[in-house]
Structure 1
């Protein structure tokens, strides 16, 4: 999108580059329904950092854009479809709520939980979360109360590992930073480890041994996703959708990359659909606004429809539409049994 320059010399709050970046990303998601492109992220981050705009002025600038108006029109056009699908799914799932498993379940200041739209549209949901950082576990319990069951387990491969508590703590990991790379990249070079300690991990197959369907499995454990998935074969066999943070660069030393995770999940019957979010970085030097290196993203995988029951297909359709705003995918996975929900004459 093209950005008009808006000058406002009065800034109420000053932001660090990292804080400004988080705010810009959050506004793009909230207002435009997408992740910030590299050029937009760099431009608006700089305007917040140097005080040319405050947060209110940035919001005004984005809502004045042609893209925002087009986004509103798109949302209005699909509002009836979302209402129909949500109502049908809520009725069908009344006795069998969507089961959401959130691995790395802390609350992030600049975004909602990715699956929040499901409960927001009235679908019954049962959420199981895993968050080993004690204060973040308490924060989530206090925020969501009885709507989520939280556990302090480190999810991994069942072995003991060194846990690196990092600053910021959302980057904490069972792996150390790959400083040979992170030291070269803007925003990553400022990350640091505050302390380390030995911890025991548990596998997903161990902690989720009740044979219940998992409709939405979200993994965000900072580079340890591949070992966790390798030890989750039984869970994956009864999972409908996987939302997994993946890396395209070795930010953490020894971590698995996107290609390995995609191959593993493909072998378990999943198709890679899209990246719902991606993050790029610039190398230090004279062009730090260019965001030239793809670092990581959130990858979306849907289990192939063959062999899935009608209840699972409707769950997939609801997730495709309400979480990811993908109406054609929703219609495709819903299948003939639910075709009436997507018929043009129903609009």
Structure 2
């Protein structure tokens, strides 16, 4: 697929704006990586851990910028720096929950505590537009969402980490996150990642890292309620189509957005058929050499 074909098809007037809260690259490539590489989005990232921030800034391209701020409720908190950077959190690790998971306990050991002023998403002058919010805040996701309602009113997609077994004291559950996002007009769309974890003391086939059935956490994607499209502007539907296509491979959702735009007269008749040809090419597996 021509990298600019979909943007031209949708007649976009600007690139998709992504905000990444907790942009630490430790968990692999973000869902917008291909979109960014194609020059179809801009990324504003926030990462309070110095080493992670340095890594992000060293490899950033012209469409990326990263700030050293902890995003939250705007109050002063303690950053609990853990032995594993991926466990560092504004919340205290919960010994009772961690007792279930032998592999996580040493990773969650607090090695330093740093007083840190958080910043509310709604107060960020650096964020002019927000189409897609990605959050991995190690337990502070609900605080980010509640302090970002004005910015999120523009957004069409949110990818957030949710916990089935909260690992931090006072951490919101998946139910809390779900209720808040539904209150703000979003519906669950897909699971970007689902993580199981081995429960102590069971060891399967001599591998202490092999899980059985216990759910630990997931990256869950929410999108603006597509059952109420009249609440979305033409621009929002176009951005949702871009994200559905590029980030989630949700070609059915992208097509639905194109259908709605065509019915409104915001796109020319026949755009659905043109998009289907694009989607068919994008969905094909790569050809082997």
> TM-score, normalised on structure 2?
0.83
Cα drift, residue 294 of structure 1: 0.8
Q: Structure 1 stretches of 5 or more lacking a match? A: 1-82
**2:140 aligned residue:** 224
Query: When you count helix as a share of all residues, which structure comes out higher?
Result: 1
Which residue of 314, 323, 329 corresponds with 2:253? Answer: 329
Q: Deviations over 1:141-164 (max 9, x none)?
A: 111143211111110101111110
- 1:142-181 aligned at under 5 Å gives the runs 142-181=58-97
**1:341 aligned residue:** 274
Tell me if the contact between 1:317 and 1:334 (Cα under 8 Å) persists in the aligned partners.
yes
Cα drift, residue 215 of structure 1: 1.3
Change (3 A) 1:90 1:186: farther
**2:110 aligned residue:** 193
Q: Which has the higher contact order (CA 8 A, sep 6+)?
A: 2
Q: Deviations over 1:260-307 (max 9, x none)?
A: 111111111111112110111121123454432211111101112333
Distance 1:155 1:284 in 2: 33
**1:207 aligned residue:** 124
Which residue of 29, 32, 49 corresponds with 1:112? Answer: 29
Change (3 A) 1:344 1:91: closer
Count of residues in correspondence between the two structures: 262
Change (3 A) 1:346 1:245: closer
Tell me if the contact between 2:36 and 2:42 (Cα under 8 Å) persists in the aligned partners.
no
Tell me if the contact between 2:25 and 2:56 (Cα under 8 Å) persists in the aligned partners.
yes
CA RMSD of aligned residues (A): 2.3
> TM-score, normalised on structure 1?
0.70
Check if 1:272 corresponds to 2:188: yes
Tell me if the contact between 1:318 and 1:330 (Cα under 8 Å) persists in the aligned partners.
yes
Tell me if the contact between 1:164 and 1:174 (Cα under 8 Å) persists in the aligned partners.
yes
